[in-house]
Structure 1
Amino acid sequence: MLLQGLKVVEMATWVAAPGSAAVMADWGAEVVKVESPTGDATRAFQPDTAESPGNPIFSNENRGKKGVVLDIGTPQGRDALKLLMSQADIFITNTRPGSLKRLGLDYDSVKSAMPRLIYAAVTGYGLTGPEADVAAFDITAFWTRSGMARAMIPPDQEPFPSRPGFGDHVTALATVSAVLAALHERTGTGRGRLVETSLIRAGAYAIGWDLGLQLRYGEVVTTQARADRPSGISGFFRTADDRWLCIVPRTLDCFMKMMLVIDRPEVLAEPRFEPPIVDMATTREVRAMCDEGFAKLTLAEAGARLDEQDLAWAPMATLAELAASEMAETAGCFVTVEDGWGGSFRAPAAPARFPEGAPPVGRAAPKLGQHTREVLEAAGLHADEIDALMRP
């Protein structure tokens, strides 16, 4: 069913690469997470203890995996990792290319011995070029270096970072799709291949609407100060109960519908308000009317009117509201995950589900080295070899 029977070995930290392996684990793959003796850095966020079980940061990227500790700085550790890789369908890593090459764990070093292996390298700026080994996070590469931050932050505001893991999860999904494409190819050729994704490329794709215009015409208008935006009925408006809502017009008749929502039908008789409105002074006048109209309505009242006119809108929800939302629950936004201490907690779900049946989701993330002996025994190592690898 789905990815059951697929074996994945992951040697990665933080979010993008572990997140891609976590999605595959959700979908039924057997995923072995290989960590150093110090463990993945995300274990340090909300540490997992009996008093506070179930680290939500680490669990979100690592639930359902088996945990193995190997010191790949030693020949024995590297040999054990290569043994696991040789028995896997997929290897996923975000270790920097230079380090992998020095350790003999890069794709070119292993491909002849493992011709069926799909080797997924998740990088900041790609596998080649002068910045292949530059340190990167999604906030630096995906958000800032890609042009996304500058395109999205209005010029009259101080720059701000994206939320943690935002670009990582986009990159994780790109990695999953690329791996599955290579897996499909392997059914016909019998051979694996190198798959590469990067934070910068995922960022460029995510901002592709604007980037496409830049590439085609050599310039693009991105986020502007609110007073300079070309549509007076589009964007965010504050209601009487100090809530915000977002409206996106779809067709020219949305202007007429908005004037009815804010009780300004008389505007429709004036030729200068006939859409499309290209005069910026008139646009600002329209925006001021919308601001005034929504300031007289509560969010519930405004929502009822917008729904009646079939306008595309949404309230600006808090995460607490999303977590309590029946709509989000029904849409499958959450899963229940074991905390590893006998309890469970809700967590974000992978962004696809399979209504006609799927493997169960919710096994706990592994404690550091929890399955080392079990996994290495299954790989064929003897007890004394395992003892040597596990010895401090």
Structure 2
Amino acid sequence: MTSGPLEGIRVLEVAMYGFVPSAGGVLADWGADVVKVEHAVNGDPQRGLRQTGTMRVEGDPNPNFEHANRGKRSIGLDMSTPEGREVLYELAKRSDVFLTSFLPGHRRKFGIDVDDVRAANPKIIYARGSALGPRGAEAERGGYDMTAFWSRAGTAASITPPDVEGLINPPSPAYGDTISGTNLAGGIAAALVKLGRTGEPSVVDVSLLGSGVWSLGHGVALSAHLGQPLAASATGTHGSPVNPLVGLYRTADGRYLSLVMLQPGKFWADVCRHIDRPELIDDPRFATGELVAANTAEAVEILREVIATRTLAEWSERFATLAGPWAPVQDSLQALDDGQIRANDYVVQAGGLRLAASPVQFDVRSPASGPAPGFAAQTEEVLLELGLDWERIIELKTAGAIT
């Protein structure tokens, strides 16, 4: 089996919930040895997250925890004790990356801020995930992906149609967390390259707010240039006012096809042949790309009527040879059975669960994910690697410094 590109890199993770741990999960997928520090008694609160919307998980394994914590080792440590902090610094000495989600006040309180960790290991890369960024009046405030990524950075307002009261929620728990975590993992990888090239360790910062702005980047650029906000169309509006081949079409079984053919003149004839309406190719209303655009409303009505006559499965078979981009609209359960997703191993087996694979592949292979660790399951193993003997480990347990 091919080693991951970060084989031999050691990451010390002091983080909770979804965002920063998902960065650690990606680094573990890439081959790093990620040691997750959890509270000696309570562990990562994400372990107890069972209810997400209408979905509830009973027992273990818990997908809410496994997704972001795949392939790590867990140590239970009380950083508020001198003995616990001593162990943490010893772990930092043998680590290449320190990864944390703790707020500035808590980093100072527990002695895990940049200067504290660098005192133990001057060459360590210090990576922070925050809600609102490391600068500004609100840098000390916390937040979640629903607040900082989804609501504040602009996505929620941009996708909520004007006829919908309130706002559309994120499509998945930890949606912004997972995107932001991948950004943070990429930043850490770049910092490792710099460290190897120059010997200079970096402080890496990624925030939910900044990731939300970046994810909406095309729209942000348009808003800045045109001086107007992105606004969703009313429910049921066709996808483009000047292109019948960009939008959703309902099939006979109540499913939907998504067409995204940005050059209608190029693809119109092929679409007409695939829907058994070749006479529309020479229809004077649609004879050129400009005319197709000008008569979008009429073309949309024709396509809606025709596509409503067959099921999604029938159209999928028929459109297999369609030149322009299209896709079936699928929910998260349907996506699991998608042949292309299976062929590329975009869903992997880890810890008795099927999990979304982290998105970067090396050498045309999906990352080999391992299960998330049990709470504090590798505490003794990690401490023995540090050179502590069993007598010292028992002393730390007695002092309450470790689980």
**1:362 Cα deviation (Å)?**
4.0
Aligned to 2:258: 246
**1:278 Cα deviation (Å)?**
9.4
Question: For the structure 1 residues 237 and 115, does the alpha-carbon distance in structure 2 shift closer, same or farther, using more than 3 Å as the test?
Answer: same
SS in 2 for 1:363: coil
Aligned to 1:100: 107
| Pair 1:3 & 2:15 matched | no
C-alpha deviations, 1:359-382, integer Å up to 9, x for none?
8x3432211111112212222334
| Pair 1:18 & 2:11 matched | no
**1:349 Cα deviation (Å)?**
1.4
CA distance in structure 1 between the aligned counterparts of 2:102 and 2:219, rounded to whole angstroms: 31
- Given that residues 346 and 366 in structure 2 are in contact (C-alpha distance below 8 angstroms), is that contact kept between their aligned partners in structure 1? no
Q: TM-score, normalised by structure 1?
A: 0.89
C-alpha deviations, 1:290-336, integer Å up to 9, x for none?
22121112213323443333121111123222222332111111222
| Pair 1:368 & 2:375 matched | yes
**1:224 Cα deviation (Å)?**
1.5
CA distance in structure 2 between the aligned counterparts of 1:69 and 1:293, rounded to whole angstroms: 61
- Given that residues 232 and 286 in structure 1 are in contact (C-alpha distance below 8 angstroms), is that contact kept between their aligned partners in structure 2? yes
Aligned to 1:303: 316
Aligned CA RMSD, in angstroms, stands at 2.5
**1:264 Cα deviation (Å)?**
7.0
CA distance in structure 2 between the aligned counterparts of 1:266 and 1:166, rounded to whole angstroms: 42
User: Within 5 A, what are the aligned runs for 1:35-74?
Assistant: 35-36=38-39, 37-46=41-50, 52-74=59-81
C-alpha deviations, 1:92-112, integer Å up to 9, x for none?
111112211233211133334
Counterpart of 1:10 in structure 2: which amino acid?
E
CA distance in structure 2 between the aligned counterparts of 1:221 and 1:272, rounded to whole angstroms: 30
CA distance in structure 2 between the aligned counterparts of 1:363 and 1:279, rounded to whole angstroms: 51
CA distance in structure 2 between the aligned counterparts of 1:237 and 1:358, rounded to whole angstroms: 33
Question: For the structure 1 residues 357 and 346, does the alpha-carbon distance in structure 2 shift closer, same or farther, using more than 3 Å as the test?
Answer: closer
Aligned counterpart in structure 2 of residue 346 of structure 1, from 354, 370, 373: 354
- Given that residues 89 and 120 in structure 2 are in contact (C-alpha distance below 8 angstroms), is that contact kept between their aligned partners in structure 1? no
Aligned to 2:233: 224
Counterpart of 1:374 in structure 2: which amino acid?
E
CA distance in structure 1 between the aligned counterparts of 2:141 and 2:284, rounded to whole angstroms: 58
| Pair 1:318 & 2:331 matched | yes
SS in 2 for 1:227: coil
Counterpart of 2:322 in structure 1: which amino acid?
Q
- Given that residues 261 and 302 in structure 1 are in contact (C-alpha distance below 8 angstroms), is that contact kept between their aligned partners in structure 2? no
Question: For the structure 1 residues 272 and 378, does the alpha-carbon distance in structure 2 shift closer, same or farther, using more than 3 Å as the test?
Answer: closer
- Given that residues 268 and 274 in structure 1 are in contact (C-alpha distance below 8 angstroms), is that contact kept between their aligned partners in structure 2? no
**1:83 Cα deviation (Å)?**
1.7
Aligned to 1:341: none
**1:187 Cα deviation (Å)?**
0.9
Question: For the structure 1 residues 324 and 174, does the alpha-carbon distance in structure 2 shift closer, same or farther, using more than 3 Å as the test?
Answer: same
Aligned to 2:193: 184
- Given that residues 344 and 366 in structure 2 are in contact (C-alpha distance below 8 angstroms), is that contact kept between their aligned partners in structure 1? no
CA distance in structure 2 between the aligned counterparts of 1:156 and 1:177, rounded to whole angstroms: 39
CA distance in structure 1 between the aligned counterparts of 2:207 and 2:6, rounded to whole angstroms: 24
Gaps of 5+ in 2: 52-57
**1:61 Cα deviation (Å)?**
1.4
- Given that residues 259 and 268 in structure 1 are in contact (C-alpha distance below 8 angstroms), is that contact kept between their aligned partners in structure 2? no
Q: TM-score, normalised by structure 2?
A: 0.87
- Given that residues 233 and 290 in structure 1 are in contact (C-alpha distance below 8 angstroms), is that contact kept between their aligned partners in structure 2? no
Aligned length: 382
Question: For the structure 1 residues 98 and 264, does the alpha-carbon distance in structure 2 shift closer, same or farther, using more than 3 Å as the test?
Answer: farther
CA distance in structure 1 between the aligned counterparts of 2:327 and 2:366, rounded to whole angstroms: 31
Aligned to 2:149: 142
User: Within 5 A, what are the aligned runs for 1:65-144?
Assistant: 65-144=72-151
**1:250 Cα deviation (Å)?**
3.0
**1:121 Cα deviation (Å)?**
0.0
| Pair 1:287 & 2:287 matched | no
Question: For the structure 1 residues 42 and 273, does the alpha-carbon distance in structure 2 shift closer, same or farther, using more than 3 Å as the test?
Answer: farther
Question: For the structure 1 residues 84 and 233, does the alpha-carbon distance in structure 2 shift closer, same or farther, using more than 3 Å as the test?
Answer: same
- Given that residues 70 and 389 in structure 1 are in contact (C-alpha distance below 8 angstroms), is that contact kept between their aligned partners in structure 2? no
CA distance in structure 1 between the aligned counterparts of 2:112 and 2:322, rounded to whole angstroms: 60
SS in 2 for 1:367: coil
Counterpart of 1:227 in structure 2: which amino acid?
T
Identity %: 32
**1:257 Cα deviation (Å)?**
3.5
**1:157 Cα deviation (Å)?**
2.3
